[in-house]
A and B are shown apart, each in its own frame.
Chain A
Amino acid sequence: MTRCIYPMPEWLEESKKLYDSSFEKKLQKISGHYAYRIKAEPSWGIDKDLFQCSIMDAGKLIEMRFYTEEEAVKEADFIMAASAPVWKNILTKTDKFVAAFMARRIKLDKGNPVKALALGPYAGTMVDSLTQVELVFPDDLSPEEFGQFKAAFAEYRERAGV
């Protein structure tokens, strides 16, 4: 199992590769352009907000990568915003998407809330598709590893313009 650090781009690249037909079938009712805003968390090496986006068409994963804020605001049907620790809880299934959405731990920056909530029944499967790799989080890293991650992540953001 590939080890990826959240939210390095390799995580999304690997998850996209591993997204197979069983996910396409389970998520066949999902279409749209979804953006997840990961709010800045400097202690995690995330100095400014990051936009994780995926385009779904009847369960097929057309695209999944990080966007610039301009791209996300212009193109996404939904933008769901939460702090990095909240997204960690969702991805580790210690919190549930619907519960977090209703309790406003996840806020909707763009889109129709009722339609966004319709994602709820499929959220667990979407999390499964994003956690097929061994996903570790910045607060799980040793100080040395965190230092390396922080530098690599800053370099990636600079290079990719996200």
Chain B
Amino acid sequence: MKIKGAVLREANRPLTIETLELEPPGQGEVLVKYVHTAFCHSDLHFLLGEMGELVPYPFVVGHETAGVVEEVGPRVTRVEKGDHVTATWMIPCGRCPQCQRGRGTICTGNLWTLSAGQLPSGATRMTDKDGGLVFYQTFVSGFATHMVIPEEGAIVLPKELPLDQACFMGCCVPTGWGSITKKAQIQPGDSVAVFGMGGVGLNTVRAAALSHANPVIAVDIEGSKEAIAREFGATQFINSSEEDPVERIRLETGGLPVEGLGFLGGGVDVVVEAIGDPGAHIQAYWCLAAGGKLVVPGIIPAGQEAPMQLTFMPLQEHSILGTLYGSISTDIDIPRYAHMAMTQDLKLDKLCTKHFKLEEINDVAEAMKRREIIGRWVCDLD
């Protein structure tokens, strides 16, 4: 069938909206009509080539999506036609050492087909007008009207959850919530700071607030993000373009300024660095209390370095913990987050701040580069 998709032919070039040929779903695969796809900061990393050529060109971009199952291939048992689903950008193989230890988000079994732009089965399903192969971005390729994905990557969501909120279940909700509950394993009363008030950062703040963290300090370089950060549960907001977040956080949490040493005492129990910026990384580390954890879902662009002075890492038992996809189990946790979105106030209705058309996607990428996006902008694929 013919579909429309946003194709990246090489890094640092505009996306082209192309008509592509999509093969029907094979064994264990489903055809999903994508309805809404949000633009995530990781998509910008791909556009700028900052993922270090993770996926072969050309590929259809996007990975935070929700849609409706339109057709199922042979031997599909987990989803049915008409189901509302999100698509996961990592699919555990179940057999590799990481999967066997319950760490499916860092599955190495399927990492290789992911990095070959294929589905876990090794299949590719798209060709362009010249008959050339078009690859997948991380098993999803969300900025397209339809896509064939494996049933293991299709997580069924309640139909009552609006699809322009359901798309957030594909990336920023699990990454934010998992950073707090899985990786930081936060306890009520823990103090938290979150760097970067994008989609992941806001969900991190929300997870911290609903986990009874206190204070929940939001840090962003754009003062315009204060209102939405507070809406999601931040008790304080620091505009890091105007003041040093390390000094403010250490002072406000009981630290004493000491000549030559910086600060004695103070700091927060958990800092989440949700930007992927070397400078923010270093600042985030210096906000840690003794025994504190720096949790890092943000991806520093390939080739950039963050020089860190780590004398206090053993002396104060600081931990630096990378997390991918919030270290969740996609199968178990995404339906739980969807259920929470129906029964608790995750603020997802406040997260979608603008709808756009597929043809406007390059403008959206430019707006993200200029840091103008507050909340998440969502593409309408109808």
Question: Is B65 engaged at the interface, CB distance under 8 Å to the other chain?
Answer: no
In the bound complex, CA of A121 to CA of B109 (Å)? 16
Q: Which of B118-137 contact A (CB under 8 A)?
A: 118, 121-124, 127, 130-133, 135
Please tell me if the beta carbons of B122 and A21 are within 8 angstroms of each other in the complex.
no
Partner of A120, one of B109, B112, B131: B112
Q: Which of B93-135 contact A (CB under 8 A)?
A: 109, 112-113, 115-118, 121-124, 127, 130-133, 135
Partner of B133, one of A93, A97, A122: A122
Question: Is A141 engaged at the interface, CB distance under 8 Å to the other chain?
Answer: no
In the bound complex, CA of A108 to CA of B150 (Å)? 30
CB proximity of B100 to chain A, nearest CB, Å: 15
Output the nearest chain B residue to A95 by Cβ-Cβ distance: B122
Partner of A28, one of B118, B122, B132: B132
Output the nearest chain B residue to A97 by Cβ-Cβ distance: B122
Please tell me if the beta carbons of B130 and A98 are within 8 angstroms of each other in the complex.
no
Contacts A93-B121, A93-B122, A124-B124 given; does A98 touch B116 at CB 8 Å: yes
CB proximity of A95 to chain B, nearest CB, Å: 8
Please tell me if the beta carbons of A125 and B115 are within 8 angstroms of each other in the complex.
no
Interface residues of B: mostly helix, strand, loop or mixed? loop
Partner of A96, one of B117, B121, B132: B121
CB proximity of A22 to chain B, nearest CB, Å: 6
Please tell me if the beta carbons of B133 and A121 are within 8 angstroms of each other in the complex.
yes
In the bound complex, CA of A96 to CA of B115 (Å)? 12
Q: Which residues of A are in contact with B by a Cβ distance under 8 Å?
A: 21-22, 24-29, 93, 96-99, 101-102, 118, 120-125, 127
What are 22 residue pairs bridging A and B, where the CB atoms are less than 8 Å apart in the complex?
A26-B132, A26-B133, A28-B132, A29-B132, A93-B121, A93-B122, A96-B112, A96-B118, A97-B122, A98-B112, A98-B116, A99-B112, A101-B112, A102-B112, A120-B115, A120-B116, A121-B56, A121-B116, A121-B135, A123-B116, A125-B124, A127-B122
Q: Which residues of B are in contact with A by a Cβ distance under 8 Å?
A: 56, 109, 112-113, 115-118, 121-124, 127, 130-133, 135
